[in-house]
Copies of this chain bind each other. A is one copy, B any other.
Amino acid sequence: MNGKATTTRTKLERGRSALGPALELVHTGRAPTRAVLTSELGVTRATAGAVAAELEALGLIRVDSSPGSAAGSQGRPSHRLSVLETGPVVLAAQVHADGFRAALVGLGGRIVATSPGCVAVMADPAQVLGEVVEAGAELLRASGLRCVGAGLAVPSAVAEPEGTALNPLHIAWPAGSPVRDIFAACVRRAGITGPAFTGNDVNLTALAEHRHGAGRGAQHLLCVATGHRGVGGALVLDGRLHSGSSGLALEVGHLTVNPEGRPCHCGGRGCLDVETDPLAFLTTARREPGPEESLLKQAGNLLRAEYDDPAVRQAAEELIDRLGLGLAGLVNILNPDRIILGGLHRDLLEADPERLRAVVADRSLWGRSGSVPILPCTLAHNSLVGAAELAWQPVLDDPLAALA
């Protein structure tokens, strides 16, 4: 606060303007060589060369001058671009009903190391986050790599700009916990450098899948997934996560998908939330949920192992129809060009993809929208990778400033 609060960016603070976009292209694998980097950026070869050299100098990417004979196209082969293996990493952390886990993630969504993963979650967020961050810090010390930030995925809507967890339902945290600040404090206390970010796990899954998984290349990507209880949604628009004006968008669990369905705590009945989550599946299939495993795993195992059982199959079809109705409603509102499904929804899709696609096509208004591709999530640890994306974002936006 030095007198004048001028927002003017000085020349010195601005990096080469194409630096960020170029790094993002390499990061998402859309620039395998310097030649395609040139065309993707829409600049001259000279500029692309300078940009690639600068990213290499920053220790972020590697430029292979001798690709050792590439594919059989004619002309001089282009230099290969790849993420530098020994480059900086970010700390990614994830908390869910089954426990928590930390990881180091490099550019390109590459998981460098993961902690074993704890299986119990305490009721005190500060304790849980302290432990997971400490596990990450341990990985960091062991690796000897530079850390440029940290990201956390939580199974709850995260309100912006406060950074509070509004409904950490299936982890026993108090609603409204300031998770972003708690996480940031843990990160600082552990001596980890760089900014800390927190986001909803389904949002981060969508982000990860968009950049490195089944959502690659989609313009408007819709992701719907069940956690252990309830349904979450996320939307990536033109490459950016849309989390609404206060971080609460895509709370899709309360679309009506069965007018005669069971009552929901929201006041309605037959909501997507209570009609298509793991508990709904077990109940519909008339199975008693056991205490030994998470509902999600029980439901998934049942669906895969006993699909021949008429009761299981019928329950699956019922859930598929309800899910299809919900997706059709979302298609009418959001008009995505791709849908990816996670959790139990992913299992339902794989159990009978034709049925789900038919319901969505039938109940969405236009033929074109009805034929939206529906795919399963493909990435392992996708919300961890998504948490890492959050931490990488400043670097992708402005590499010079973020690494300074």
> How distant is the Cα of A171 from the Cα of B132 in the complex, in angstroms?
61
Interface residues on A, range: 35 or more
Residue of B nearest to A334 (CB): B249
Q: Does A260 contact B (CB under 8 A)?
A: yes
CB-contacts of A302-358 with B (<8 A): 329-330, 332-337
15 residue pairs bridging A and B, Cβ less than 8 Å apart: A7-B39, A220-B244, A245-B335, A245-B336, A246-B337, A248-B335, A248-B365, A248-B369, A250-B335, A251-B335, A252-B332, A252-B333, A254-B365, A266-B365, A333-B333
Interface string of A377-389 (1 = CB under 8 A from B): 0000000000000
CB of A226 within 8 Å of the partner chain: no
**Majority secondary structure of chain A interface residues (helix, strand, loop or mixed):** loop
Given contacts A245-B219, A254-B365, A333-B249, contact A270 B266 (CB under 8 A): no
Inter-chain contact A256/B254, CB cutoff 8 Å: no
Instruction: Render A236-258 as a binary contact track against B, CB cut-off 8 A, 1 for contact.
Output: 01000011111111111011100
- Check B246 against A368 for contact (C-beta < 8 Å): yes
Report A10-42 residues with CB < 8 Å from chain B CB.
39, 42
Query: Considering the chains assembled together, what is the distance between the CA atoms of A255 and B249 in angstroms?
Result: 17
Knowing A256-B259, A332-B254, A366-B157, say if A337 contacts B245 (CB, 8 Å): yes
Per-residue interface assignment for chain A, residues 204 to 246, with 1 indicating a CB less than 8 Å from any chain B CB and 0 otherwise: 0000000000000001100000000000010001000011111
- Any chain B CB within 8 A of the CB of A8? yes
CB-CB nearest in chain B for A250: B333
Contact between chains at B335 and A243 (CB < 8 Å): yes
Is residue A363 within 8 Å, beta carbon to beta carbon, of the partner chain? yes
- CB–CB A251/B332 < 8 A: yes
A binding-site residues for B, Cβ under 8 Å: 7-9, 39, 42-44, 157, 159, 166, 219-220, 233, 237, 242-252, 254-256, 259-260, 266-270, 329-330, 332-337, 362-363, 365-366, 368-369
> Nearest chain B CB to A332's CB is how many angstroms away?
4
Compute how far the CA of A7 lies from the CA of B38 in the bound complex, rounded to whole angstroms.
Answer: 10
Question: Measured between alpha carbons, how far is A294 from B259 in the docked complex, in Å?
Answer: 33
Contacts of A242 in B (CB 8 A): 237
How near does chain B come to A223, taking the closest CB pair, in angstroms?
13
A248 to B328 CA separation, bound complex (whole angstroms): 13
List, in ascending order, chain B residues with CB within 8 A of A159's CB.
366, 368
Closest residue on chain B to residue A247 by CB atoms: B335
Give min CB distance, A376 to chain B, whole Å. Answer: 20
A145 to chain B minimum Cβ distance, whole angstroms, is 35
- Are B246's CB and A335's CB within 8 A? yes
| Residue among A246, A266, A333 having the largest count of chain B Cβ atoms under 10 Å | A333
Q: How far is the CB of A110 from chain B (nearest CB, A)?
A: 29
Q: Whose C-beta in chain B lies nearest to the C-beta of A233? A: B333
Residues of chain B contacted by A366 (CB below 8 angstroms)? 157, 159, 166, 246, 248, 251
By a CB distance below 8 angstroms, the chain B residues around A248 are 332, 335, 365-366, 368-369
